[in-house]
Amino acid sequence: MERIFEFLFKYPPLFFEQGDFTFGAPMSVRLWLIIAGLLGAATVASYTIARGKSTVTDRGVMAGLRVLLLAVIIVCLLQPSLILSTVVPQQNFVGILIDDSQSMLLADENGELRNSFINEEFASGESELLQQLSDRFALRFFRFSDVAGRVDNPSELAYEGTHTNLSRALDVAREELSGVPLSGLVMITDGADNDNQPLAESLVPLQAAGIPVFTVGLGEESITPDIELGRIEMPRAVLEGSSLTVDVVITQTGFEGGTVPLIVEDELQIIAEETVELGPDGEPVVARIYFELEGVGPRRVSFRIPPQPEERVNRNNARSVQVEVRGEREKVLYFEGEPRFEVKFMRRAVEEDENIQLVVLQRTAESKFLRLDVDDGSELEFGFPTSREEMYRYRALILGSVEASFFTHDQLQMIADFVSERGGGLLLLGGHGAFAEGGWQGTPVEEVMPVVLSSPADDPQGFFAEVEVIPTPAGLTHPAVLLGVEQDQVRERWDSLPSVTTVNPISQVRPGATALLSGSGEQLALEQIVLAFQRYGRGKSIALTIQDSWLWQMHADVPLEDQSHETFWKQMIRWLVDGVPEAVEAVTDREQVEPGENVQLVTNVGDSSYIEVNNATVTARITSPTGTVEELPVSWTVQRDGEYSVEFRPLEQGEYEVEVTAERNGETLGSDKTYLYTAPSDDEYFSASRRTQTLRRIADETGGQFYTPEDVSSLPEDIRVTGAGVTLIEELDLWDMPFLFFLLLMLMGAEWGFRRIRGLI
């Protein structure tokens, strides 16, 4: 298209975009217009007064065509031209930025590598393109991947970069060439940036300096056929023995409608496998896979899809995730307002779980409590905690059938803060003293609840209903309600469990909350919300509105060997404590880096009441894979209360252990451990297709142009007219454009044709 344009209009479109249009005729344009008007009038008059076979319409058409012909001739006589600001040859510089990352070694459909364009046009030193560029400009070459720098000759490129950072490349080139007249930058790349640095920050200075960037896109826009593992949603720390539900995003082209196995490995041992049905080409599917991790400590969990027949890129079929399996006993406080069998059966369900310490405080009479599984005689000595320090020792709180009036207002506020500020998990069980029936409306805790409380029933006997429980669509994929069976059997398993009962009619969840289990029954007018949850502040709250889940263990319809009740409660309590923060928490900005890359360690420090501390002494003890220990002070960031950070650079390959300790006035506030894995990255093989949109954006926003190897030949001439650097004004004639000649011929031909048709010749 561009070639046709250039043939008709003599110059490429870019010239017309860049140049100013003018007329070069010696007389004024106004005089020419008067002459044109007179000639036109004379023409029309001659046709008007002519006599013969022609009708008025015929004469009108012919006069019009003749006037147009005259107009074209007048335009040519006006000597139209383009005024262009063109660079002065050999007085300007052009920076040529060449992608030096691994993705340049990917082959296209014909087996040709992406870097072959670079080798032919730049590394060989003999190409016409390079010659034309060299004739016009002084060339400076840069290589870039995750870093960027000058290179004397493109033949030195090794294509070993494991990341691509376009922003950094533009910044480095602009800064290096800031002292010379620069006509533009040429960026030769596939555009597959995987450092995710905002481009705008690099484009604004280029726009301000008037430096156009000409981008040359290499590679294909779609690699077909190919399967790629995308994002993996997995927590960075889990409790030992917890069932994990991990979402894996899989994208593909060329395998539409097929199935592939997704394999999960822990230290080279397969721990889960799932068959994934692929969707339409280009549309990602989310595969959900379940597994457990045994053994305490840091782990590399690998997800992979075996290479498929004829697949173009295999190295994007696998990803690894660093996860810490924690062996601590998570302390959960279960406060029950009266003797109930829920206590007995919940304790039975989790008694073998070494990672859960279910501390029970059961009110057996007014001001009389039974304490179970406490650490010592002083724990909960005076009943329910009265201070934040006492309560925040627990990672989760379960409230049974206990009326709101039992608590002081401070304690109610403390329960709400336990969730929102401390980030703890709160589970509310059904019962005569729970929800609306327990007078919880209007309390600070009501806000935390994931369900909407209705008014208590007027019936003096109270509401009572049997409930058949079924999972909601959201529940079918939630680990807490899977009951340890495959996903397609979850519904069936719930159907096999006996009905339970409720005394709290609840039929609505709060906006933002999710219902996982619902129930129906003869005594229920509306569908009962059985299990619902929501995030609240830093923590989460869960409502289980039934009062006798123990029937799932004890009922005669449940086989003795059935583990549904045990599994349900284990998963519920593990979910409750999952992700609950510590007072001191350390995390690195990335879980895997390459040796030599900088890592940001961020630590949040709070005291025992989880109030942020800004005057702590925080130390990071970093142990390398070979056992070298380095201690670094971690400083308060000032921007956020309680946030400390430090940057370090791991040089060895393997697993780094980072232990952070926070002290204040000689008193230890807490410590935390996190892990970091250093290894060469395969990022270059993920999302490696050409990013045309990104490259077009860079060109458009800086006044440059986007090219492919097929149309890059006009690049030297295009740079010449960009106007950057040392320039001179050049006037380009347009009167001899072939388009005008063709137009004249067309108009003359049209009049002749018209006469023939009308029989006027």
Partner 1 sequence: MSRSLLHLALLALALFTMLNTGCAPDSVEEATYLTPPGAEFMSQQAPPRVSRPSFVDSRGPRMDPNEIPGRYPFYWTRAIYSGWGRRGWGQSWATDYPKGDQQFLVVLKRLVRLNAYDWDNAIRLDDPTLRRFPIIYAVEVGGMDMTNPEVEGLRNYLDAGGFLIVDDFWGQREWDVFEYNIRRVYPDHPIVDITLDHPIYSAYYDIDEVKQVPAIGRAMYPAECYGCVPYVKGIYDEAGRLVVIINFNTDLGDAWEWAEDPRYPLEYSTYAYEMGANMIVYAMSH
Farthest CA pair distance, the chain = 126
Give the shortest CB-489-to-partner 1 separation in angstroms: 23
Can you tell me the distance from the alpha carbon of 426 to that of 446, in angstroms, rounded to the nearest whole number? 12
Residue 182, helix vs strand vs coil: strand
Residue pair 352/326 in contact by the 8 Å Cβ criterion? no
Q: How far is the CB of 498 from partner 1 (least distance, A)?
A: 9
Beta strands (DSSP E) in 88-168 are 93-99, 138-144, 148-151
Among residues 545, 576, 579, 582, the alpha carbon closest in space to that of 350 is found at 576
Residue 588: which of 682, 657, 516, 501 has the closest Cα? 657
* Residue among 82 and 500 whose Cβ is closer to partner 1: 500
3-state SS class at 542: strand
Nearer to partner 1, 81 or 545 (CB): 545
Which of 33, 544, 574 lies closest to 353 in space, CA to CA? 574
Cis peptide before 633 (omega within 30 of 0): no
Distance of CA 75 to the CA centre of its chain: 56
H or E element, residue 495: helix 490-496
Q: Find the shortest distance in angstroms from Cβ 364 to partner 1.
A: 6
**Integer Cα distance of 295 and 327 in angstroms:** 8
CB of 270 to partner 1, least distance (A): 32
Strand, coil or helix: 134: helix
Minimum Å gap between C-beta 606 and partner 1 is 34
Q: Which residue has the tokens 């669509």?
A: 473
Segments in 531-582 forming alpha helices (H): 551-554, 564-577
Residue 546, sorted as left (phi over 0), alpha (psi -120 to 50) or beta, turns out to be beta
Cβ atoms 221, 689 nearer than 8 A: yes
* Closer by beta carbon to partner 1, 210 or else 383: 383
Least distance in angstroms from the C-beta of 266 to partner 1: 30
| C-alpha span between 261 and 304 (Å, rounded) | 8
Bridge partners (DSSP) of residue 262 are 274
Instruction: In whole angstroms, give the CA distance from residue 451 to residue 432.
Output: 17
CB 427 within 8 A of CB 398: yes
Q: Which is nearer to partner 1, 351 or 410 (CB)?
A: 351
Shortest reach from residue 343's CB to partner 1, in Å = 5
The structure tokens listed for 187 are: 């960026």
Minimal distance in Å, beta carbon 341 to partner 1?
5
Q: Which is nearer to partner 1, 312 or 493 (CB)?
A: 493
- Minimum CB distance to partner 1 smaller for 19 or for 400: 400
Q: How far is the CB of 524 from partner 1 (least distance, A)?
A: 13
Closest to 265 measured CA to CA, from 325, 319, 327: 319
Distances (CA, A) of 690 to 258, 371, 402: 25, 65, 62
Helix (H) or strand (E) segment spanning residue 694: helix 692-702
| Cβ atoms 55, 63 nearer than 8 A | no
Of 553 and 661, CB closest to partner 1: 553
Which tokens go with 476?
Answer: 């079918």
Min dist. Cβ of residue 556 to partner 1 (A)? 4
Which run of H or of E encompasses 266?
strand 259-266
Residue closer to partner 1, measured from CB, 276 or 356 = 356
User: How far apart, in whole angstroms, are the C-alpha atoms of residue 339 and residue 731?
Assistant: 98
Q: Where are the beta strands (DSSP E) in 449-557?
A: 465-471, 500-502, 514-520, 528-536, 539-544
Between 500 and 618, CB nearer to partner 1: 500
Nearer to partner 1, 225 or 337 (CB): 337
Question: To the nearest whole angstrom, how small is the minimum distance from the Cβ of residue 588 to partner 1?
Answer: 42
Instruction: In angstroms, give the least distance from the CB of 560 to partner 1.
Output: 5
The least distance separating partner 1 from the CB of residue 401, rounded to whole angstroms, comes to: 7
With H, G, I as helix, E, B as strand and everything else as coil, classify residue 210: coil
Q: In terms of CB distance, is 140 or 340 closer to partner 1?
A: 340
Using DSSP's 3-state secondary structure scheme, residue 636 falls into strand
- Of 269 and 461, nearer to partner 1 (C-beta) is 461
| E strands present in 293-355 | 297-304, 318-326, 330-336
Cβ closest to partner 1, residue 348 vs residue 538: 348
Site residues for partner 1 per CB under 8 A: 337-341, 343-345, 347-348, 351, 360, 362-366, 368, 370, 372, 401, 431-432, 460-461, 464, 466, 500-501, 503, 547-548, 550-551, 553-558, 560
Rounded Cα gap, residues 197 and 423, in angstroms: 31
Indicate the residue among 103 and 401 with the shorter CB distance to partner 1: 401
Q: Report the C-alpha dihedral over residues 469, 470, 476, 480, rounded to 10 degrees.
A: 0
Q: How far is CA 316 from CA 111, 177, 297, in A?
A: 18, 37, 27
Determine the Cα–Cα distance for residues 74 and 63; give it in Å rounded to an integer. 16
Instruction: Give least dist CB 450 to partner 1, A.
Output: 24
Measured from the CB atom, the residue of 225 and 431 that comes closer to partner 1 is 431
CB of 471 to partner 1, least distance (A): 22
Residues facing 593 on adjacent strands: 678
Tell the smallest beta-carbon distance from residue 480 to partner 1 (Å).
22
Q: In the complex with partner 1, which residue's Cβ is closer, 347 or 621?
A: 347
